[in-house]
Structure 1
Amino acid sequence: MSASPFLTFLGAAGTVTGSRFAVDLGDERVMVDAGLYQGLPDFRRRNWEELPIPASSIEGLALTHAHLDHCGFLPRLVRDGFSGPIVCTRETAQLAEIVLRDSAHLQAEDAGYANRSGYSKHHPALPLYDDSDVEKTLPLFEPVEYGVPTDLARDVRGTLSPAGHILGSSTVLLEAGPSRVLFTGDLGRDRHPLLLPPAAPVPADVMVIESTYGDRRHPDPDPEHLAAAIRRTIGRGGSVLIPAFAVDRTELVLVALHRLTQEGRVPRLPVFVDSPMALATLDVYRRAVSAPSPQLRPEARVLLEALDGLDLRAVRDPEHSMRLNRPSFPCIVISASGMAAGGRVVHHLAHQLPDSRNSVVLTGYQAEGTRGRQLLDGVRQVKIHGRYVPVRAEVVQVDDFSVHADAEDMTAWLGRATEPPSTVYVVHGEPSAAEAMAQRVRDELGWCAVVPRLGERVRLD
């Protein structure tokens, strides 16, 4: 009798981040994603916990996309003994290289700052991994084309399909023996300005779906919301700070700013992109346009080339970045990270939040426990680098930029399946969002839907 395949939820269960899933078939083991936890301290501490499976036992890994909460644990996995292939698209490999190098740099920088300032509980504070771990990880990437089955182990293979979330993003179909399990990773929206919509789900016995927005519907786009916030800020003589993810989100914000400027809704202002990672990512997107990539909409070339019409100023060195802590003239500063969890934007917030002339524009999902979530919830002070900073700047949320499927998008996508799965496992959501998404799948599609526990192990046959 052949072995039964099992799926273990090693992450992204009960929270949005930390994507990690293991599939076992007899003595064969593969993973889908290896992401970092972000947000609440209890979640971030999980990054330091030893996995319940030996890293050296993992024969191969399929990576859905290059966001940190899906790929950011890879160097630690390699440090702990993983040496198998990392299967993903070419663009995911290019973007992951940028993201992982930046992650190692930021971790070393944050650990050094914590040691110098003495605010860390750990003595000395150490990074989770370093540059050498990243350099050992990069040769393991094996880019593949969409729709091409690829061996991850002797009896396990994976096939990628476009997910429409960010450039290179994929859903992953794992065939483990006779069982087929489909992972959505982060599923995109039909309205992405640059990318084509996600491909329809392929037939699968089991589906593992995200639920970041599982309890809500995205509002209709309202460009005037962002435009009005910029005009108010400039009218006060302040500057606009936009925490934005370096991968994909910065591109979409720039496209929106160009459109608002062209339409005369906002004055032409200096727009600083203060993120070497975002600038490198923009180059990857521009190369994809030149290729051209089949993932992109036909109008993507025009939209990205039009960015040259902005007063766009690239900020690469730390000295220039420090001058943007207190801009001497009204401007827009776009800086990572999108949830204000780390990076240069944290230093900008420390200096700009106390000034009521300024504004902070939040452009995407803010995970529980992040500074972005605290600002969104209206806190009057926020802790940065060991001390509290008063929040006097205007905080504005703009929902137009989300590239996650909402509850309606996900249900509609699932409804395109040619045959129902036996079970849908709902992950990548805060508990209320995941349960709401599961209930929707039960009510509207009549399928079995379960919100798994962290560490839970289930049969796939």
Structure 2
Amino acid sequence: MKIHFLGAAGTVTGSKTVIEHNNIRILIDCGMFQGIKTLRELNREPLAIEAQTIDFVLLTHGHLDHCGWLPKLVADGFDGKIFCTRPTKEISRLILYDSAKIQEEDARRANEEESTQHSPATPLYTTENVDAVIPKFRVVEKDIEIQLEENVFFKFFYAGHILGACSIELHIDGKILVFSGDIGQDDDVLMFPPQKPTKADYIFLESTYGNRIHPETDALIELEAIINNTYHNGGTVVIPSFAVERVQAMMYLIWQLKKDNRIPDIPYVIDTPMGINVLEVFKENRPWHKLSFEECEEMCKVFTLISDFQDSMNMVYNKKPKVVIAASGMITGGRVLSYLERLIEKPETTVTLVGYQAEGTRGRKLLEGAKDIKMYGKYYPVAAKILLIESLSAHGDQNDLLNWLAALESKPTKVFLVHGENQAADELRLKVKERYGFDCQVPYLGQIIEI
């Protein structure tokens, strides 16, 4: 059996792992690379394994770094089935169409403004490419064994993180391979605790926060202070947020603060069409999260929900204090850029980061103290306050990742640490070895390992 690490090895994006055994090839996730340019450029490269030779895709969840390369895979010749949970299909559809539209718009703007090194600039894929992906989705329930061929079957089990997210237990000729996908926190605001595996010969464990412990701070108190301080300074709070789960988690926290009259009566704005659409997915998939339908409805009443572009522009130029939640979470694109173009130079603005910021993204640069930031080909000086509420991450921290291994009934042959920057993965490797004595390896991008 060969394992091809084609993404999320030494980095947190571009998740792609191919399992090759006899005449079958299974791709676990098919994500887009994000962050530094050398990684983003990999999105334009063909897969190291010809797309038409892949039989199945198993999708852990619908974030762009796990599903965002599917249109390219299909355009390059993949013609198999894509298995996922119902919420993951719905979220992936929203994310893929949004991604395609953003790419089309960015290419159009670059060509009009002649701000591109490529002539002409072209999107990685189009909405028509996404159209070709959707019919290939096959929805399956979690905790149900699905046969792929003789002696090959899998099942999904609950991972927390975002709506629909699951880990994968894959059986091939009697060997059990477990892929964590992205694992949520044990005490997430909206998601239930992730389910732990009990049996595995080989484990592929994410390591996003492999070297960090989330602070034991109260996110409500942090958010309350940020909103009140910014309001008293006459400024706006801009919260770049992932449209899936993070937007809804922030809405929930603000709703709690508003119910208790702990924050001022100012506009609370959700300006992400996809995030608004995901709210409907939340309402339709109640068993996957903690909120009731009635709570979802009551929460939404606190917010101004913006889908129309002109309404968005009107809000961007509205000078009154407000709190705006807009995608994208790592400030790699989306409507949050329009707010930051206008507000990043103002010292009374507070930019509040509430999720992981990958290497090379604008979010990471702001977090590391960048004095200016480039948007749409122009540099803007950073005068706004840049704050991080670290405890709100949708990813489990080092303790959560270690605890996820605690229910194994026997020692696995090997644990592969993926989906993490090298330092985070290596520190988690040492911790896993120290606590459990498991043989751990941190694979590199493009590595092929025989097991």
TM-score range, shorter chain: over 0.9
Choose the corresponding residue for 1:366, options 338, 353, 357.
357
CA distance in 2, matches of 1:327, 1:307: 24
The residue type paired with residue 289 of structure 2 is L
Shift of 1:254: 0.3
State the number of aligned residues.
450
Query: Which residue of structure 2 aligns with residue 347 of structure 1?
Result: 338
The residue type paired with residue 225 of structure 1 is E
Choose the corresponding residue for 1:252, options 249, 254, 258.
249
Structure 1 residues 300 and 406: CA distance shift in structure 2, 3 A: farther
Is 1:407 the counterpart of 2:398? The answer is yes
Deviations 1:378-408 (A, max 9, x none): 1110111111001111111112321211111
Query: Which residue of structure 2 aligns with residue 87 of structure 1?
Result: 83
Is 1:135 the counterpart of 2:126? The answer is no
Contact 2:155–2:168 (8 Å) recurs in 1: yes
Query: Which residue of structure 1 aligns with residue 289 of structure 2?
Result: 296
CA distance in 2, matches of 1:182, 1:104: 31
CA distance in 2, matches of 1:430, 1:200: 23
Choose the corresponding residue for 1:126, options 86, 111, 122.
122
User: Cα RMSD (Å) of the superposition?
Assistant: 1.3
Query: Which residue of structure 2 aligns with residue 277 of structure 1?
Result: 274
Shift of 1:168: 0.6
Query: Which residue of structure 2 aligns with residue 116 of structure 1?
Result: 112
Structure 1: 5+ residue stretches without partners? none
Shift of 1:155: 4.6
Structure 1 residues 235 and 23: CA distance shift in structure 2, 3 A: same
- Indicate the larger mover: 318-327 or 346-355: 318-327
SS in 2 for 1:29: strand
Contact 2:151–2:174 (8 Å) recurs in 1: no
The residue type paired with residue 260 of structure 1 is L
Identical residues among aligned pairs (%): 39
Choose the corresponding residue for 1:207, options 200, 203, 214.
203
Query: Which residue of structure 2 aligns with residue 331 of structure 1?
Result: 322
The residue type paired with residue 35 of structure 2 is G
SS in 2 for 1:324: helix
Shift of 1:326: 2.7
CA distance in 2, matches of 1:192, 1:303: 17
Is 1:454 the counterpart of 2:445? The answer is yes
Query: Which residue of structure 2 aligns with residue 101 of structure 1?
Result: 97
Shift of 1:416: 1.4
Deviations 1:101-124 (A, max 9, x none): 111111101111111112221111
Shift of 1:153: 4.7
Structure 2: 5+ residue stretches without partners? none
CA distance in 2, matches of 1:194, 1:123: 45
The residue type paired with residue 239 of structure 1 is T
Q: TM-score, normalised by structure 1?
A: 0.95
SS in 1 for 2:285: helix
The residue type paired with residue 357 of structure 1 is E
- Indicate the larger mover: 68-77 or 316-325: 316-325
Choose the corresponding residue for 1:59, options 55, 58, 70.
55
Is 1:445 the counterpart of 2:436? The answer is yes
SS in 2 for 1:96: helix
The residue type paired with residue 297 of structure 2 is E
Query: Which residue of structure 2 aligns with residue 77 of structure 1?
Result: 73
Query: Which residue of structure 2 aligns with residue 385 of structure 1?
Result: 376
Query: Which residue of structure 1 aligns with residue 297 of structure 2?
Result: 305
Query: Which residue of structure 2 aligns with residue 194 of structure 1?
Result: 190
Contact 1:326–1:352 (8 Å) recurs in 2: no
The residue type paired with residue 455 of structure 1 is G
- Indicate the larger mover: 27-36 or 116-125: 116-125
Query: Which residue of structure 1 aligns with residue 155 of structure 2?
Result: 159
CA distance in 1, matches of 2:147, 2:421: 33
Choose the corresponding residue for 2:181, options 182, 185, 198.
185
